[in-house]
Each structure stands twice: as C-alpha cells, then as structure tokens.
Amino acid sequence: MAVQIHPTAVVDRAAVLDTDLTIGPYSIIGPKVEIGSGTVIGSHVVIEGKTKIGKNNSIYQFSALGGAPQDLKFKGEDVGLEIGENNVLREYVNIHMGTIHGNRITRIGNNNLIMSNVHIGHDCSIGNGCVISTGTGLSGHVVLEEGVILGGMVGASQRVRIGKMAYIGGFTAIARDVPPFITGRGTSDIYIKGINSIGLSRKGVPEENIRALKKAYRTIFLTGNTVGLGCEKAKAEVGNYPEVDYFISFIQNSKNGICVTEEKAWRVQRSPLESGLSA
C-alpha cells in the first residue's frame, strides 16, 4: 500500500518513508527522519532531528518528537531519538533527542502506551510494555525497565531508574531508584507500599515466586535492618528465585539510593544509626 500524505503536510524530500504509512494534515517531517511501515501520524505532528520510528506506531495530533534536548550544554552534536514498534503516543506527547553526555540516543522500546501530555527528556530509555499516564514528566537520563506503569502526573528526577513491573501511583515525585516488582506512591517523595502481586500474577509469575518476593521485601524493608543488611539476610534466607535475585541485585547496584517504606524513612530521620539505608 502506498504512503498517504495529506496535501497540507510538509515532508522533507530527504526523509525516509517506508510503505503503508499515513501522515495527517499539517504535520511536519524533517530531513533526518525515518518512519517504518504501518505507522499512522495524526494531524499537526512535528517530527524533527535524527529520529527513527519503527513499524506500526500510532502518533496522535500535536505530538512533538525529536526536538533538541533541554540541556544548556547541547551544541548541536550528532544525537537522536529511536522509537520501536507498536507504540501508541497520544496527544501532545513530547520526546527529545539524546545528548553526548548520555548515550546520544533517547530510546523508546516496543508496545508502550504513552498517554497525553507526557514529556520524556533527553537520554531517557523506556523499555517494552510500559504505560506512562497523562501529564507525567521524565527528566533526562531516566530509565524505565520492562512493564513499568506510571500513574498520572508522576515526576521523575534526572537519572532515576525504575525497575521492571513497578507500579507507581499518580502524583508521585520520584527522586531515588525504584526497585522492581513493587507498588509505590507519595507526593513529596515516593514510598514503597508493597509487592505488585496483581501485576506479577497477570504476567504469569508463579505464586511461589511471588511469596518469596514478599518474604524478601519484608526482610529488607519491614524490619529494623538497614537496607544493605536486609539484602544480605534475604539472600541467605529466601532461596534462589529469579525475581528475588533481580530484586536484591537492583537494590544493591543502585547509584541514586533506593526509595523505602514510609515507616523506614521516618525511622532514618529519627536515628543517624540508619545511615546505611541506601544500598
């Protein structure tokens, strides 16, 4: 099927367009853009910079993709944006290119739902199967692993890493790394609320593994242990389960500190002896 371009759209002759795609009214496609087959671009969409978009994406009206990074150090270097396949980008989604201070590329994986008015900053990396809800903003270098769900109006600080299948409630501020498989929320800061049992079950994780994760979670976050000591105890006591191993490894390798339960955060504020909180 031929490419369908509305007469009012402006498409640079140097843009690389695959077959069977649609570009709606008043959209603008720049010279360094590549778009895969089956992708549908709505009206008033701007795609610029060195942007590569895969197959079967749906990009709704007024989205802006591949703009220059909001970084004062950016001097027009060779950077870009890569978007995978089967993604849905709703109205007013804004995604910037990377910088030489990151990996040069902002990356969006496959099968993601990015709702309206979402901002994804430079050098972010979004895995597969994520849901980013309306009004959420991700600062530069943020990493979302596979299957992350962010509620509406979430804000994530630079370089935060959110582990796979984490579920974060709306209006949450995220300034520290979020372990995989948990649920969390909070306004001035995120607090862990427990293991995302429903999400894990829906993804086919065995009940025995979920119980093991819950035990590890209790050992790390719901005892008097520091997080570091809790991880060591969980390793010794829970047994070998892939989800538990990843959970502990994520916490121990965090470079930004780990969000914790509200009770543990309060206890740390009261006692300097808990300074070993961050893994």
Q: Is 122 a catalytic residue?
A: yes
User: For 46-71, what is each residue's pLDDT tens digit?
Assistant: 999 999 999 999 999 999 999 999 99
Q: What is the pTM of this model?
A: 0.93
Annotated catalytic residue: which of 24, 30, 49, 140? 140
| Amino acid 278: pLDDT | 40
Q: How confident is the model at residue 85 (pLDDT cuts 50, 70, 90)?
A: very high
CATH numbers and ranges of domains, the chain: 4-159 (2.160.10.10), 206-274 (1.20.1180.10)
Q: How far does the chain reach from its first CA to its final CA, in angstroms? A: 54
Annotated catalytic residue: which of 24, 66, 123, 184? 123
Q: Identify which of 196, 190, 178, 143 has the alpha carbon closest to the alpha carbon of residue 254.
A: 178
Taking the C-alpha atoms of residue 255 and residue 177, their distance in angstroms, rounded to an integer, is 8
Annotated catalytic residue: which of 122, 147, 151, 199? 122
| Amino acid 95: pLDDT | 99
Q: Identify which of 34, 89, 25, 17 has the alpha carbon closest to the alpha carbon of residue 59.
A: 89
Percent of the chain with pLDDT over 70: 95
Contact 172, 156 (CB under 8 A): no
User: For 132-186, what is each residue's pLDDT tens digit?
Assistant: 999 999 999 999 999 999 999 999 999 999 999 999 999 999 999 999 999 999 8
Distance of CA 17 to the CA centre of its chain: 27
Judge whether residue 276 has pLDDT over 60. no
Contact 203, 147 (CB under 8 A): yes
Q: Is 151 a catalytic residue?
A: no
Q: Is 245 a catalytic residue?
A: no
Q: Which of 100-109, 111-120, 266-275 has the lowest mean pLDDT?
A: 266-275
